[in-house]
Amino acid sequence: MPTAVKMVNIVKSFPGVLANKNVTLEVEKGEIHALLGENGAGKTTLMNILFGLSQPDSGEIFINDQRVSINSPTDAITHGIGMIHQHFMLIPVFTVTENITLGEHSPKEPLLDLETAKNKILEIGKSAGLHVNPDAKVMDLCVGEQQRVEIIKAIYRGANILIMDEPTSVLTPQETDELFVILHQLTEKGNTILFITHKLREVMAISDRVTVLRDGSLIGTVKTKDTNRNELAKMMVGREVFLTFDKNPTHKEEVVLDLQHVYAKNECGLHALKDVSLQVKGGEILGIAGVDGNGQNELAEVIMGLRPLDRGDILIKQRSVKLNTTRDIIDLGVSCIPFLRQKEGLVLTFSVSENLILKEWHNPPITRKGFFDTKAIIDLSKKLIKEYNIKTTGPNAKVGNMSGGNQQKVVLARELSRNPNLVVACHPTHGLDIGATEYVRQQLLKERERGAAVLLISTELDEIMALCDRIVVLFEGQIMGEVAGEKINVDDIGLMMLGVRQENLHHGTLAVAGCSSAETKRCNVTTTEKDTI
């Protein structure tokens, strides 16, 4: 088999981190090659180098056995490489055609020629089974469709080697299956696919061969059919992994959080949450499953008082909080691990101690008689640094310079040390390495055992299934159903994530929406940030 891509002894360092250490990768023509590794293992860096987004410090690249130097995405495109990024590189206010032709030489240069382009797009769509409306604005498309636009964009530019960075992270299990069908069709036509992932299930399901990276180093390349999940897991993390947690039975009586027929609007005035009712008891973890963007953010925000309630009521410890401010809700003993820890949870330019007091700064012992008690702040910080094993030089170190795992520990220390009644945890392990992930999960289970109510919002089904006592599935801001305890069926959850109501699950004829084109996605107005400064 001829090789499509060969990367030899690639070294790449960023300030403070060596992201690739002498990595060698060989991909055969026409295969689906998985690149496996946990977060921060250097997969994306390696692919950014292949696509010319960053330059290696040393190493060689061969495309179709020709030595090449790739200094920019333009070079990569000329060599037939296309990349589908994890966060789509699309412009929401542009149409599909505009997005695809952007930067391409127009037949009527410098004038735009969208008609010709449209026909070509439809042609590609037909031959590869990628259906999309070329006149639609990208912001009106659902995630699966946007991904198809990205694939067409790459093919339009003549790509026959496709790099896909975590392509399934935004898809439901069913949409994932659909994507896999497309990928097989593409390889049958002679395309080569490099599939970056950290999910073992997908590696086993789709790849021909798999290369494992750990900590920036190459661990090895194996044929998928000659290996198994456990072996891959061991290669990936360097030791045996325990995917299950021991959950002790707890005593669940008091309802801590009670949402009653909650409606809330998004920035465009459309309903992001529709008639959501749920309860979380003390000593229980309730999971919210769903494809990202189906109202999870809004759910966390209404609970925290960051988004006004349109209708319905929220009770925390039997007290209605629909008219209360975020401050009041926090003071009721509600803690939140936000979606975006660097943006919502931390002030990166502040020190560790300044971040650790970001919930209790106005209360004793931190503030006494209107002034900060500096000694109390330092003492508290030192205590939390020790208790939560935060790796830092001390309370005055800047949080912005710490690793993601350490930053999340600062958030956890601040939120959990308050002994909250309710913890709203949003994607708490997103972007963390396996060690930090395990730590966060243990901490959440500890809170559960202490008797706190935990609402866990996550798009990682594995995480939700491992930790939660009950699971609720959100689709387009509505609850599709609820499953509890041991009898959880992944396919059922997947169907609910696609918009099938639980009561319709086993009715034979399924009216699957096919595309989670939620109203919530159509909103493109951001109001949180101010004009300048």
Partner 1 sequence: MNNILSLFTEEFFYATIRMASPVILAATGEVFLQRSGIINLGMESMVIYGAFFGVLGSALTGSGWMGLAAAMLAGTITGLLYGFIVITLKANQSVTGTAFNIVGIGLTSFLARVIWGIRELPVQVDTIKPWSVPILNKIPFIGHILFDHSPLVYLAYILVGVATFVIFKTTWGLKVRAVGENPRAAASIGINVYAWRYFCAILAGCLASMGGAVLSLVDLNMFVDGMSGGRGYFALATVILGRWHPVGAAIGGLVFGAGNALQMRMQAFGVKIPSDLLLILPFVLAFLAVVIFHGKSSAKPAALAKPYEKEATI
Partner 2 sequence: MIDKKSSNQLDAIRSLSLDRLDFLVRRFERLFSFLVPVLAVLAAMALISVLIYALGENPLKAYKALAVGSFGTVYDFANSLNRAAPLILVGLGVAIAFRGGVFNIGGEGQIMMGGITATIVAVYITGLPIYIHIPLTLLAGFIGGAIWGFIPGYFYAKHGTNLIITTIMLNDIALGILSTLVKGPMVEPPGYYPQTPLVQPSSILPLIWPGTRLHAGLVLAVLAAFAFYIILFKTPFGYEIRTVGENQTAAKHAGINVFKNQIMLMLISGGLGGLAGTVEIIGAQYRLRALFLPNYGYEALAVAILAQRNPLGVIISGLLFGALKAGAGSMQRATNLPMSLIAILSGVIILFVIASGILMGLPRYMAKKRLAKMEETDGSPTNKSWLRNIFLKKEPGKDYE
User: Which residues are near partner 1 by CB under 8 A?
Assistant: 14-15, 17, 19, 40, 45, 51, 53-54, 72-74, 77, 83, 85, 88-94, 98, 101-106, 109-112, 153, 157, 524-527, 531-533
- Give the Cα-Cα-Cα angle 234, 236, 241 (nearest 5 degrees): 45
Residue closer to partner 1 (CB basis): 149 or 291:
149
Tell me the closest approach of the beta carbon of residue 492 to partner 2, in angstroms: 34
Q: Which of 350, 438, 482, 515 is the binder for partner 2 (CB under 8 A)? A: 350
Contact call for residue 438 and partner 2 (CB under 8 A): no
The DSSP-derived string for 33-44 is EEEE--TTSSHH
Q: Which of 56, 85, 99, 456 lies closest to 288, judged by CA?
A: 456
Structure tokens given for 39:
């977060």
Instruction: For 53-71, give the secondary structure using H, E and C.
Output: CCCCCEEEEEECCEEECCC
Cα–Cα distance measured from residue 321 to residue 324, given in angstroms and rounded to the nearest whole number: 5
Torsion of CA 185, 187, 189, 191, to 10 degrees: 130
DSSP secondary structure letter of residue 382: H
> Is residue 28 involved in binding partner 2 (CB under 8 A)?
no
Q: Please identify which residue in the block is written with the tokens 């309630």.
A: 309
487 binds, among partner 2, partner 1, none (CB under 5 to 8 A by kind): none
Nearer of residues 157 and 414 to partner 2, judged by Cβ: 414
3-state secondary structure of 284: strand
Q: Where are the alpha helices (DSSP H) in 189-292?
A: 200-206, 229-237
The C-alpha angle 478, 483, 489, rounded to 5 degrees, equals 110
Beta carbon nearer to partner 2, 312 or 345: 345
**Nearer Cβ to partner 2, position 179 or 457?**
457
**Among residues 80, 345, 477, 494, which is the contact residue for partner 2, using CB under 8 A?**
345
Q: Which one of the spans 72-80, 288-296, 387-395, 502-510 is the region binding partner 2 (CB under 8 A)?
A: 387-395
Query: Which C-beta is closer to partner 2: that of 509 or that of 527?
Result: 527
Which burial class, exposed, middle or buried, applies to 150 when counting CB atoms under 10 A from its CB (0-12, 13-18, 19+)? Answer: buried
Contacts 24+ apart (CB under 8 A), 183-188: 183/32, 184/32, 185/128, 185/129, 186/128, 186/151, 186/162, 187/30, 187/31, 187/32
Binding partner selected for residue 345 from partner 1, partner 2, none, CB under the kind-specific 5 to 8 Å limit:
partner 2
Query: Could you say which of partner 1, partner 2, none residue 124 binds, taking C-beta under 5 to 8 angstroms by partner kind?
Result: none
Contact window for partner 2 (CB under 8 A) among 111-119, 186-194, 320-328, 497-505:
320-328
Q: Residue 186 gets which letter from DSSP? A: H
**349 in contact with partner 2 (CB under 8 A):** yes
Q: How far is the CB of 110 from partner 1 (least distance, A)?
A: 5
In the range 281-300, which residues lie near partner 2 by CB under 8 A?
none
Examine residue 318 and tell whether it contacts partner 2 (CB under 8 A).
no
| 327 counts as binding partner 2 under rule CB under 8 A | yes
Binding residue (CB under 8 A) for partner 2 from 150, 165, 284, 354 = 354
Q: Find tokens 């333009």 and name the residue.
A: 74
DSSP letters of 113-158?
-HHHHHHHHHHHHHHHT----TTSBGGGS-HHHHHHHHHHHHHHTT
Q: Residue 1 or 525: which CB sits closer to partner 1? A: 525
Question: How far, in Å, CA of 84 to CA of 66, rounded?
Answer: 23
Contact code string over 402-431 relative to partner 2, x by CB under 8 A: xx--x-------------------------
Q: Applying CB under 8 A, does 383 fall inside the site for partner 2? A: no
Please classify residue 510 by burial: count the beta carbons closer than 10 Å to its beta carbon, then call 0-12 exposed, 13-18 middle and 19+ buried: exposed
The residue to which tokens 């006494």 are assigned: 368
Kindly write out the interface string for residues 166-195 of this chain, putting x where it contacts partner 2 by CB under 8 A and - elsewhere: ------------------------------
Q: Rounded to the nearest whole angstrom, what is the least distance from the CB of residue 420 to partner 1 in the complex?
A: 32
In the shown chain, the binding pattern of residues 5 to 24 toward partner 2, with x for contact by CB under 8 A and - for none, equals: ------x-xxxxxx--x---
Residue 396 within binding range of partner 2, rule CB under 8 A:
yes
> Are 399 and 407 within 8 A, CB to CB?
yes
- The candidate with the shortest Cα–Cα distance to 455, out of 430, 486, 420, 488, is 420
Residue 155 one-letter amino acid: I
Residue 526 binding partner per list partner 1, partner 2, none, with a CB distance cut-off of 5 to 8 Å that depends on partner kind = partner 1
Q: What does 528 interact with, of partner 2, partner 1, none (CB < 5 to 8 A by kind)?
A: partner 2
Smallest separation (angstroms) from partner 1 to the CB of 398: 15
Give the interface with partner 2 as residue ranges (CB under 8 A): 11, 13-18, 21, 57, 214-215, 217-220, 238, 304-306, 325-331, 336, 338, 340, 343-350, 354, 357-359, 361-362, 367, 370-372, 374, 391-394, 396-398, 401-403, 406, 435, 527-533
